[in-house]
Amino acid sequence: MLRWGGWSGPDTKGKSYAQNPLHPDVYGFYKTYMQALLGEVGKEVDGFIWDETFQVLGGDLAPPRSPAMPTAP
């Protein structure tokens, strides 16, 4: 679910991590988070930008034997 090596720049401290957005726990967290954001400010905003999304690498999306890819390629 987590791997070391997400965004690292002048605005970060310590190690950063990347998450597999297809993992059910990660997907569920962000779905719930977005629902809460929209419930709170949805009528006052036009959109959201998910910064550093370029840090999601191909292997982060569906590593072998993940819920999204149950058999190895």
Q: What is the mean pLDDT of the chain?
A: 76
**What ranges do the domains of the chain cover?**
1-7+15-40
C-alpha separations of 26 from 15, 32, 41, 69 in Å: 19, 10, 22, 16
Q: Is the pLDDT of residue 6 over 90?
A: no
Ranking 23-27, 34-38, 50-54 by mean pLDDT, the lowest is: 50-54
Q: How many helices (H) and strands (E) does the chain have?
A: 2, 2
The pTM assigned to this predicted structure is 0.58
Round to whole Å and give the CA distance between 58 and 27: 16
